[in-house]
Structure 1
């Protein structure tokens, strides 16, 4: 089995590649540079059909999506002959939310004969392990805030707008949008004081693409925003460089808690 890694920004693609049983074919969207990886193939939305053909020629049978990719704009002048028949699917995808668009792309790969694997299937050790991973432990107020945040993510799942939010003192303070978690935290201002960042999957979200992810930069941003802690759903969120995340949590006096059973 030959694996192709559709690699976006950040360190997740390299972590997935390192866990793969063999070196994958690394494919990157034009203008996107995954950290720590050499790129084998580049593509655009307008040349996705050609990418599918080239992967087949290389004997690829499995595909894994990892890392962030900005929602592209379709430029009809750059369509190639292999991709032109796919335009109706692209238009459908671009009208959906993030998860809906990713489902359309995943369906396209699967209909072409590729097996789509989630990053957690290739690198299961990246999933958050249940428990408290910091010296500080969550108190009753933080547990209540985590419940409020998790319920909010589930309530807004149908709108497909984010996988993270900030809650504090029993109220929701911010919700992630297309700009991402870092932008949400950077825009908190005084609202971050005493709050928590919560990350978890939306209801019905496919696990094969875009699982929620935290990493060292998340903890640095959380500390900068004045938060009390970072809370994730165990088994449903990817943690990049978990030892470094724990060290940063302790350095900045943050709680790092992976909830289980909630």
Structure 2
């Protein structure tokens, strides 16, 4: 069956023009966050290979790493396992004038930990109870919290896994846990549906992104994010380039360091 105009893959030229425009708006958003002392948290969740990482890269491409930070936490240490579950995530929350993008978040407990048996039923149940409370506290304290779930079909996920397997530059993205998710597709579906029942709350609703077309998903997600934040363009400070002073007669000594070889000259 031929794709309709609505689901056809977004043309690259259209995508490139629009993503650049949106990235310019993200820079304005960044300056507003700094000027107003806002705290913005964006949560990226979804199945493996759903396109979360690519969207995060496009968002941060032109932003200052001093303002926009990616939080992608590793497996908890033995000490962290004894802490309150949300504690290590709370440590990553932004201060005034900062943006934090969670490449997976506290929702690990409702997804992979629950499905793979890495947490107990009691810990899972406690998470579903505490998560809405935790997020309400964040919003009540003034944090702008946005949560995005990237949805990908089983066929498209399979195609992306196979593409990673055949690409030495992206093979590192394919972990044993990713492959395990293929055989546990329905269990992950059930976990996601249960998670939404408990955590799709008015104060911090979930927004779902259809991501079989990565270009379309990035455009839709970034556009939506921008539409939910009341940012405005902050006038940049006036900067004048200083005049370069005339040479004073200083003679530099011969170079003491080792010069990097000019291998680029061998390319043409």
Larger radius of gyration: 2
Larger helix fraction of residues: 2
Fold in common (TM above 0.5): no
Larger strand fraction of residues: 1
Q: Which has the higher contact order (CA 8 A, sep 6+)?
A: 2
TM-score by length of 1: 0.30
